[in-house]
Amino acid sequence: SAVISQKPSRDICQRGTSLTIQCQVDSQVTMMFWYRQQPGQSLTLIATANQGSEATYESGFVIDKFPISRPNLTFSTLTVSNMSPEDSSIYLCSVTTSGKETQYFGPGTRLLVL
C-alpha cells in the first residue's frame, strides 16, 4: 500500500482564520479523498480531489468553505476556510491505487478551533 503523510499533524487555530492541510503520497495514486471525523463520530466524505480539475464535493460541503487542490498524482491540499469551533475535527486524506478498490488513510490532521 502507499505511504501517506499529512501536514500539519495537529494545529490550534483562531476563529475566522484558514488552515491548509497537505497530503503527500510516496507513489502515484488514482483517487484521493478528504474525510472529516468529528469527535466520537464516524468518517464523513468531504470531497474527491480530482487531478487537474475541480474537486467533487459531497452534499453539505462547498468549495468556498473547503477549497481543494490536486496539482499532480501524489499531492493534494484541503483548506478549511473562515474556521469556527464547529470545524474542530480530524481531517483525513485517503487514496486508492490503480486497479485496487481499497482505500488507505493518512495519519490525519487534528484541528482545534478556538
Partner 1 sequence: QKEVEQNSGPLSVPEGAIASLNCTYSDRGSQSFFWYRQYSGKSPELIMFIYSNGDKEDGRFTAQLNKASQYVSLLIRDSQPSDSATYLCAVKHRSSASKIIFGSGTRLSIRP
Interface residues with partner 1 (CB under 8 A) are 1, 30-31, 33, 41-45, 48, 90, 92, 96, 101-108
Cell 501517506 sits at which residue?
Answer: 4
Instruction: For partner 1, give the closer residue by CB, 58 or 65.
Output: 58
- CB 108 to partner 1: min, Å: 5
CA-to-CA separations, 97 to 16, 74, 86, 92, in angstroms, rounded: 36, 11, 32, 17
Question: What is d(CA 89, CA 43) in angstroms, rounded to the nearest whole number?
Answer: 10
- CB 2 to partner 1: min, Å: 12
Instruction: For partner 1, give the closer residue by CB, 13 or 90.
Output: 90
Nearest to 88 by CA among 23, 22, 40, 49: 40
Instruction: For partner 1, give the closer residue by CB, 14 or 102.
Output: 102
